[in-house]
Homo-oligomer: A and B are copies of this chain.
Amino acid sequence: MSTSTEAFPALTNDLLLRAARQEPVERTPVWMMRQAGRYLPEYRALRADHDFFTVVRTPELAAEVTLQPIERFPLDAAIIFSDILVIPQALGLDVQMVKGKGPHFPDPLSGPEDLERLRTPDVSQELAYVFEALTLTRRRLEGRVPLIGFCGAPWTLMAYMIEGGGSKSFTTSRSWLYRHPEASRRLLQAITDVCVEYLIRQIDAGAQVVQVFDSWAGLLGPATFETFALPYLRQIAEKVERAHPDVPCIVFAKGAPYALPALADTAYDVISLDWTMDPREALRATGGRKALQGNLDPAALYAPPDAIRQEVRRMLQAFGPRGHIGNLGHGMHPDHDPEHARAFIEAVHEESAAMVSQS
């Protein structure tokens, strides 16, 4: 345990931590993936003057953006503003954010021989800006809500590093798993080693919860997931737990409902569900052994506030108030109305409090 955390103000809202441990809560905690982002006018105003990776790399700006939704809404967690692609950058690949197109690698990995190009990063140096942003944000939060750190999962990062950006079907990276299984494993292990150290240092710097985003798990099938995703996800949870046994770890394997039983057998504390997963089916698949996070359809935030409340009620009833962290099934969309985000948050608070008091 790092000494720096002792200097932080005491946490006054620990709902998220209790829900992650499946302890009783008086109401369901709620946050939203991409809660700091383009749907907020204050975010767009700040981004008008600073490009994406400048914000990520400047602790003062990253902290400011992280706190924007916290100042505006009664959220139960903050998540550090950053990007999963900082790890490929630390491994030596150039990554740019192209307006309206998303991430772009000018020089992605084109074959196994390109693994030579990757360096073994000094994480404490290369990603120091993230750790500084976490410490600064944690101080500014003054204990209001817990701060979440995160990283991309090895398979998802591998997919980007080979594809060179977003892609319709990621066929090049998927082909590696069948054409270059050994090189794939070497690459995945190299990424995993960085993920582990990165998350441990994020916690040292102030993160109170960490989440691993396997955004492209849905491109795999049960067999490839078991070989090329699960062992690395497992390692991350085990090693982070060894270093920080009290910090909850969340895993989000988007599009991979088939992975739920296997994930229930790992050291993760919480499994995050996308909106296509049925909560009751997920409870069955995980045997109630893990807290669950999610999973309102982000498109439901286009509905009028009354309809949002109805969707929230349905979600809360399916998960039950114990061991549930309210969230969307994926990130906020840039064209979402901030007032609809507020309707979502308030509905989770009010409806879950009513459910708890009635039970």
A residues adjacent to B (C-beta < 8 A): 166, 168-169, 171, 174-175, 177-179, 218, 220-224, 255-258, 275-278, 281, 295, 297, 299-300, 302-303, 307, 311, 314, 329, 333, 335
Instruction: Find A299's partner among B174, B277, B314 (CB 8 Å cutoff).
Output: B174
Q: Which 6 A-B pairs have the closest CB atoms?
A: A174-B299, A178-B303, A175-B302, A221-B275, A222-B278, A178-B302
- The minimal Cβ–Cβ distance linking A100 to chain B, given in whole angstroms, is 11
| Cα–Cα, bound, A295→B223 (Å) | 12
Closest chain B residue to A335, Cβ basis: B171
Contacts of A295 in B (CB 8 A): 221
| Cα–Cα, bound, A178→B303 (Å) | 5
Closest chain B residue to A296, Cβ basis: B221
| Contact status of A221 and B169, CB under 8 A, knowing A174-B299, A300-B178, A303-B179 | no
Contact sample, A vs B, 24 pairs, CB 8 Å cutoff? A169-B333, A174-B297, A174-B299, A175-B299, A177-B299, A178-B300, A179-B302, A179-B303, A218-B255, A218-B276, A221-B277, A221-B278, A221-B295, A221-B297, A221-B329, A222-B278, A223-B297, A224-B297, A255-B255, A257-B257, A257-B258, A258-B276, A258-B278, A258-B281
Contacts of A307 in B (CB 8 A): 178
Closest chain B residue to A276, Cβ basis: B221
Contact A333 B276 (CB under 8 A): no
Closest chain B residue to A285, Cβ basis: B281
Contact B314 A223 (CB under 8 A): yes
Closest chain B residue to A173, Cβ basis: B299
- The minimal Cβ–Cβ distance linking A200 to chain B, given in whole angstroms, is 31
- The minimal Cβ–Cβ distance linking A299 to chain B, given in whole angstroms, is 4
Contact A171 B275 (CB under 8 A): no
- The minimal Cβ–Cβ distance linking A191 to chain B, given in whole angstroms, is 20
- The minimal Cβ–Cβ distance linking A155 to chain B, given in whole angstroms, is 13
Contacts of A257 in B (CB 8 A): 257-258
- The minimal Cβ–Cβ distance linking A211 to chain B, given in whole angstroms, is 20
Contacts of A166 in B (CB 8 A): 168
Closest chain B residue to A170, Cβ basis: B299
Closest chain B residue to A178, Cβ basis: B303
Closest chain B residue to A218, Cβ basis: B276
Contacts of A177 in B (CB 8 A): 299
| Cα–Cα, bound, A314→B224 (Å) | 13
- The minimal Cβ–Cβ distance linking A254 to chain B, given in whole angstroms, is 11
Contacts of A276 in B (CB 8 A): 218, 220-222, 255-256, 258
- The minimal Cβ–Cβ distance linking A21 to chain B, given in whole angstroms, is 27
- The minimal Cβ–Cβ distance linking A196 to chain B, given in whole angstroms, is 27
| Cα–Cα, bound, A255→B220 (Å) | 12
Contacts of A302 in B (CB 8 A): 174-175, 178-179
Closest chain B residue to A224, Cβ basis: B297
| Cα–Cα, bound, A218→B277 (Å) | 10
| Cα–Cα, bound, A12→B275 (Å) | 46
Contacts of A300 in B (CB 8 A): 178
